[in-house]
Structure formats: structure tokens, C-alpha cells
Amino acid sequence: MNLDVAATGSITVPAIDLRTTDDVFARETADARAAVTPRPGSTLIADSVSAWFGQRKVLEQVSLAMRPNEVTALIGPSGCGKSTFLRILNRMHELVPSAGLAGQVLLDGVDIYGSQMRVTETRLKIGMVFQKPNPFPTMTIEENVLSGLKLSGSKPTMDKRQLVESCLRRAGLWEEVKTRLDALGGALSGGQQQRLCIARALAVTPDVLLMDEPCSALDPMSTRIIEETMRELVQQVTIVIVTHNMQQAARVSDQCAFFLVEEMEQPGRVVEAGTTSQMFSAPGDPRTSDYIQGRFG
Amino acid sequence: MTDTALYPAESPSLASPMPDEPRVIARFGRIDVAEIIGSAISAAALTWLLFSAVAWNGAFGALLIWYATFIVMYRTVARAVHGRLVATDRVMTVVLTTCAALAFVPLVMIIIFVVSKGLKYLTASFFTDTLEAVGPQDSGGGAFHSIVGTLQQVGLAAAVAIPLAILTAVYLNEVKGRMSRGVRFVIDSMSGLPSIVAGLFVYSFWVVELGKGFSGFAGSMALIVLFIPTVTRASEEMLRIVPDSLREASLALGAPQWKTVLRVVLPNARSGLISAAILGTARAIGETAPMVLTVLGSSSLNWNVFEANQDDLPLFILKLIRSPNETQIARAWTGALVLVTLVLFLFTLARILGRDRRKATR
């Protein structure tokens, strides 16, 4: 797999070809692929979303459609509201006491901020993987994977052991931990912990998976495994990923949205959104091409 | 890769290969120890000379002067041998070690004192007999009635206060409800309440006003008043150090808040909460002043914690230590030994139960 995309000139989107991987993970992803049956994902539509922290407006009029069975990447410099936007998508935003919100977010046509959906139900359907791996340190690996079922009170769709294996396989972690499922979650390395968090998020079969810079603390090997995992998962779930890594956005995403704060103290806006190949080969806005080619940000 | 690629051919490490085993990295060698001992001896000699020449006396003064001389000498020696920076480091190390050792002195002395005085009466009958119909001069007699009273009163108080305190801490740190400001203010002011006032309150309200009379339960109520603020504050600290990322992870999985608290926050704070509860209990066991006003004390066994006056270990000690009789005083010391052992046992229990599951298996 071609990992080093040239950073100068126009960037081409490398085709992701999993068949060329020739190590232990290739077998795993092949196994996982057999277990994955494509299903129609969900559509997530943000409609005129604005956000505040206290008096400060951090996002303005963001409208974005995240389509089923596609990876949507949110890119842009630090502090432009990407993470805030991501947290709005599964109602984590409102955990900050001073947070405010305008607009609506539609999951398959239903407003997740409306009265038809409870907040716990929303978060069950729209899972999240955080920037910093956060497995539950008091639980074993197996308990961590199953924790979502226990915490949300939902019934497992299959036998528990099978579910653990299938989730860990899909997260690309099974081979490394299958002999020590009763070890504590904190005993794993950082990259393994992050994949455990992905397995945990998958166990509750979400329709949408939000990922907030999931690879920013990981080594290139773990990053690669997680990116391959994402390409597999997208056959079943809609994925939205925040990333600072342009090559990563080019590698994994189908759609791309570029966030930018144009002037200091201004709220973040979406400058341009479209298919990844379009955004990376022929961006419509000069600021997008500047950012993508590393001229600022 | 071979070694020749890393080192030039004439490298000495090739001629004598280093043994492949863990090295002992000495930071404090024999010479360093000798410097300290030498400085100590010469300081002692100088102090002796000074005291015999000027004809001073007094062991405490001698100790102080010896220590001051020792520090000055050691600094001079260390500076001459190792230079100024190392000398400062060494002197500070010695001073801080001394301070740490001094902090141990009262603890060790109390334990030695209590054990040496209390061992005399520490017999099996001390745990089975009461003081009922035991004359001051008689041998035998024990604190069974006091031990029963202490365990009942403190046990009852702990059973009520610990769950209440932890729930209050959860309210303050997790629920963050509208009343949390008021609750925190009350808890903070209650923790400054003198224990005798808690006793007076229960005495005037329960014992006298409601006419319920003295009982172990009245003592438990006074203990509860003292218990709740300490355990609440300690528990709140423990909940506060549970990282927010774990709460977010749980909520993002679709967990309601009560399950997040029950399955994620509390298990992560488990060891801290156990320590908080047991340290609070150890504190309550020694309370004396409020018990005088609520439990009153007794010489005979009373199993009923809700009815009539009881005894407990602090009251047992208080009554007997003021007696003019030697046998009674010896019994009081044995009571103190039992009390200290009980507290020590609780602290040990706190350490064992509080041992982190995470660290234990790693």
C-alpha cells in the first residue's frame, strides 16, 4: 500500500488496495471481510448548524450531508470547529455546560435534537471514537467490548463470545488479544487500546461512527490497521472522521469538507465540500488548495 | 548488524566486551557513606570538647549543637570533594531525611509506650470479661462490654453515614444539581464542627428533650454528624480524579447517567472510596467527647444499642485512667492498646481493600 503520498504539487488519491498487504493483518481483514455483509447505512444531515460556547460563536451555518457507506473527512486547521461539529452529531456537545446550538441534525430524516429521539438512543445509534484511547481501565478486554451493551441496556444480537470475536476481528485486534481476553483494557499498547475502543463502539451496531482524530496518537502501523478497518466498516456504517493528516483524508475518505476560520474571533465555516478526489485534484476554492498543499494551517 | 558497523575497530569496547547482565548503578558509594560517618564522628567530638571546656550540660542542647556542627562539617567535606552543586544536593538530602525520620518519632514512641504499658493486662479474659462486680484491686476483669459497645456504635454510624456520604459526593460531583452549592457549603461548615458540639446537640435534643435517655444509638447519631462531612469530602476528591474521558466514553455508548456513575465512575474510584470510608471510621472510633454526653459509659455488658447506657473503649480508658488505683490504670492502658490495634487493623484493611486491581494484575 502506498503510504507516502508526495506532499508537493497536486496530490493524487492513492487507490487503496488491501490485497497487497502481506502480513498477519491481511488474514484478519480477509476474515473480517467474510463476516461483513454490506447493509444500507444511514444518512446523517447537518442542517444550518451553528454552535456557541458561552457568548462565543464557534460554528456558523454548517450544512453537510454524510452519505451512507461513505467516509466523510472533516479537515481544516486547529480551532476551526471540526471537533465541535463532530460532537454535535451525537449530542456530546451539550455536555459542556455553556454550550449552545442552532439548526438541526437529521438521522435518516429524524431530528436527533427533537422529541422523537432520546439522547441515549441517539448516542447508541451514532457511536464515537475519541482522539485519546479511553478503554475502561477497570474492565477486561472482553468486558470492554461488551460494555456498550451493558451500559445502554441493549440486547446482544448474537452469542456474546461470538460478538466479542467478530468486533475484535473487525477492529483488527483479534489476533493480538485472543489469548488474553481477560486482561485489563489498560494493559494494551496505545494503538491496541484505540482499536479496542473501535471494537467497543462496533459492538452496539451503530448506524454511524464518528471518529475524532483516531490516529493522532498512534504509530504508522496502528494507523494503517485502523484505516484498513475503516474501509471495511464503511460497508456497514456511515463514517465521519476528523483528521489533521491530509494524506489520511486522501487515503480513507470518499467525501471531504474543509472547515476554516477566516479571521480571528470569527466562527468556523465550511469553505468547500465535495468528493475527496475532486477536493484534492481540483479544489474550487484557492484556500482549500492552499491548505491541502500545505501552504498554511 | 555486527558490532564493527557500530564501533571503530580500535574501540575499547570490542577488546573487552561488556557482560550482558543488569548493572548495579551506584549513586551512593562507600566513600559517600564514609564522608557522612566521618562528619558525624568529628562533629560529636567537637561537641564533646565544647561541652567539657565550657562546662555546659543538657542532652537536648548537645544534640542540637551536634547536628548543626555535623551539617556544617558535612557541607565543607562534600564541597571540597565533589564541588558546590553536589554539596548542596547532599546536604539537602541529609536535612530532608532527618525531617522524615523526625516525623516518625512521635508515632513510634506512642506505639512503644502504649504497647509496653498495655501488655501487662492483655490476657484472654480482657476480651471476655466485663468490669461488672470487679473491685478496683481484683485481678481479672476486662473490656468486653466496651469492645461490644464500640463495634456496635461505630458500626451503626458507618452503616448509615458511609452510603449517605458517597451518595452526597455523587450528587456534588456527578449530578451537579441545583442544590450542590448549598450542600457543599453545609458539608464544609459541618467538617469544622467541634465533636463536643455534635455530642451536645444529640444530648439536648434526643437524650433530654425527647426523653430517650442515654444509649449507644445516641452516640451513633453524634458520630454520623461527624462522619458525613469527612467521608463526603474525601469521596468527592476521589470522584474528581476519575478522568472525564471515561465518562464521555460511557455516555457516547448510549449509557444513561446513572449507569455511567454506577458502572464506570464508581468502579474507577473504588480504591479511593474504600480508603475514604475506612479512614473516616478509624477517626470515629477514637471519638470521646460526644460519647460522654450520649453513651454515658457503663461497667456492665449491654447488648442493646438502642436502649440504656453503654460503654465503649474511649470511655473505658477515660474512666479508668483517672482512677487512683494502679490496677485500674493498667487496665486503661490495655484498653488503649486494643483501641490502637483496632485503628491499625482498619488502616491495614484500607490498604488491602484499596489495592488497585489495575496495578495488581499488571
pLDDT tens digit string along A191-245? Answer: 899 999 999 999 998 999 999 999 887 888 888 888 988 998 898 889 999 998 8
The predicted structure's pLDDT at residue B283: 87
Chain B neighbors of A135, CB-CB under 8 A: 249
* HSE toward the beta carbon, residue A181, CA cutoff 13 A: 17
- In a 3-state reduction of DSSP, which class is residue B230? helix
> What is the helix (H) or strand (E) element at residue A64, kind and residue range?
strand A56-66
Query: Which pTM value belongs to this model?
Result: 0.80
The predicted structure's pLDDT at residue B240: 95
Q: Is B357 at the interface with chain A, CB within 8 A?
A: yes
Q: Is A196 at the interface with chain B, CB within 8 A?
A: no
Distance between CA atoms of B237 and B135, rounded to whole angstroms?
A: 50
The predicted structure's pLDDT at residue B361: 41
CB contact under 8 A, B252 and A132: no
Residues 6+ apart with CB under 8 A from A293: A8, A9, A10, A11
The predicted structure's pLDDT at residue B356: 63
**Cβ atoms within 10 Å of A166's Cβ, excluding its own:** 22
The predicted structure's pLDDT at residue B14: 55
What average pLDDT does the structure give for chain A? 84
pLDDT tens digit string along A176-190? Answer: 999 999 999 888 988
The predicted structure's pLDDT at residue A30: 47
The predicted structure's pLDDT at residue B77: 92
Q: Best of B178, B247, B253 to disrupt the A interface by mutation (most A CBs within 10 Å)?
A: B253
The predicted structure's pLDDT at residue A139: 93
CA distance B355 to chain A (A): 13
Which of left, alpha, beta for A65 (phi over 0: left; psi -120 to 50: alpha)?
Answer: beta
The predicted structure's pLDDT at residue B354: 77
Q: Counting every residue, how long is chain B?
A: 362
Shortest CA distance from A151: residue in chain B: B255
The predicted structure's pLDDT at residue A275: 92
CB B312 within 8 A of CB B336: no
The predicted structure's pLDDT at residue A17: 45
Residue found by looking up cell 456497514 in the block? A236
- Sign, CA dihedral A262-A266-A272-A277, equals positive
CB contact under 8 A, B248 and A153: no
Distance between CA atoms of A257 and A276, rounded to whole angstroms?
A: 9
**Cβ atoms within 10 Å of B174's Cβ, excluding its own:** 18
Q: Is A181 at the interface with chain B, CB within 8 A?
A: no
The predicted structure's pLDDT at residue B51: 86
| Grid cell for residue B207 | 437524650
Phi/psi at A80 (5° precision): -100, 5
Q: Report, as ranges of residue numbers, the positions in chain B whose pLDDT lies below 70.
A: 1-16, 26, 356-362
Distance between CA atoms of A106 and A64, rounded to whole angstroms?
A: 11
The predicted structure's pLDDT at residue B326: 87
Instruction: For Cα atoms A198, A206, A279, give the angle at the middle one, nearest 5 degrees.
Output: 75
pLDDT tier, A19 (very low <50, low <70, confident <90, very high otherwise): very low
Is the pLDDT score of A14 beyond 60? no
CB contact under 8 A, A130 and B249: yes
Distance between CA atoms of A40 and A145, rounded to whole angstroms?
A: 24
CA distance B268 to chain A (A): 6
Least trusted range by pLDDT, from A31-45, A282-296, B261-275: A31-45
CA distance A278 to chain B (A): 33
Phi/psi at B7 (5° precision): -115, 150
Distance of CA A78 to the CA centre of its chain: 17
Radius of gyration over alpha carbons of chain B, in Å?
30
pLDDT tens digit string along A109-118? Answer: 999 999 888 9
Distance between CA atoms of B300 and A57, rounded to whole angstroms?
A: 73
The predicted structure's pLDDT at residue A50: 94
pLDDT tier, A70 (very low <50, low <70, confident <90, very high otherwise): very high
Is the pLDDT score of A123 beyond 60? yes
| Grid cell for residue B76 | 565543607
Q: Counting every residue, how long is chain A?
A: 297
Assign 3-state DSSP to chain B and report helix, strand, coil percentages, each to 5. 75, 0, 25
The predicted structure's pLDDT at residue A37: 57
Is the pLDDT score of A101 beyond 50? yes
CB B319 within 8 A of CB B305: no
Angle subtended by helix axes B270-285 and B216-240, to nearest 10: 150
Phi/psi at A15 (5° precision): -70, 135
Distance between CA atoms of A180 and B192, rounded to whole angstroms?
A: 50
Chain B neighbors of A124, CB-CB under 8 A: 253-254
Nearest to B245 among A122, A132, A148 (CB): A132
* HSE toward the beta carbon, residue B129, CA cutoff 13 A: 17
pLDDT tier, A23 (very low <50, low <70, confident <90, very high otherwise): very low
The predicted structure's pLDDT at residue A39: 66
Nearest to B358 among A122, A130, A186 (CB): A186
